Amino acid sequence: MKKDIAVLGLGIFGFRIATELTRKGHNVLAVDRDKTIIEQIKDNVTEAVIADVTDHGTLAELGIDKFDTVIIGIGSSFEQALLTLADLKKIGCKHVIAKANRKIHEELLLKIGADEVILPEREVAKRLADRISRPDMMEILTVDGDVSLVNISIPARMEGRSLLDLDLRKEFQINAVMVKKNGSKTSIITNPNMVLHEGDELIVAGKEEDIIKAFAK
């Protein structure tokens, strides 16, 4: 579903998230006080505005409270990020995601009212560790707390068996959501009697440790 998203602060993180969200079809407003950065990004987002979001009244003037999600990408000053978050909550923003560089900053941002806090280095480290540990797990996304959505190749022992026979929900408390049959398009699983073959991939949802157990080779 297309969303209206504002990205405040266009450092490496903010610039990348703004352009990626636009590429995925969302309406993105990118805001930074640096004219050069705005010139660089303006053709790759829905709208780009030169403004200092730490100035009193700027967020309200930009109508930031009307956006579905606001992402604070300010990384140069934690104090500025805190002030921006406080102003966003004051004007009634629905969903605010903040970036932090340290654990203590994450805790403070959550206390002040951030709905989510991202530590980019921690996220990258976890993804790299996952990729090295389980190269067959091609994509891992945490969707809600400890529930992950994983795209994974089936092990040889599952070949020739149906999802009904495997009964992943009963045995491992995970759910097979979608399937990619040997290089074809990914599709929603509608037939539990579908037989798995070499080269098939499943998208499954559940706790990461349960998924690892289920697909152990």
Q: What is the pTM of this model?
A: 0.65
pLDDT digits (tens, 9 = 90+) for 109-147: 999 999 999 887 777 676 667 666 665 566 666 655 567
What value does the mean pLDDT take over residues 169-191?
A: 87
Same domain? 58 vs 164: no
Same domain? 102 vs 182: no
Same domain? 197 vs 150: yes
Note down the domain range covering 198.
134-214
Same domain? 88 vs 39: yes
pLDDT at 145: 57
Kindly give the pairing relationship between strand 116-118 and strand 137-144: unpaired
Q: What is the pLDDT confidence band of residue 84, given thresholds at 50, 70 and 90?
A: very high
The residue out of 85, 119, 153 marking a domain boundary is 119
pLDDT at 128: 63
Same domain? 165 vs 68: no
How many domains is the chain built from?
2
- Percentage above 90 pLDDT, the chain: 53
User: Which comes out higher in pLDDT, residue 26 or 135?
Assistant: 26
41-50, 117-126, 140-149, 193-202: least confident range: 140-149
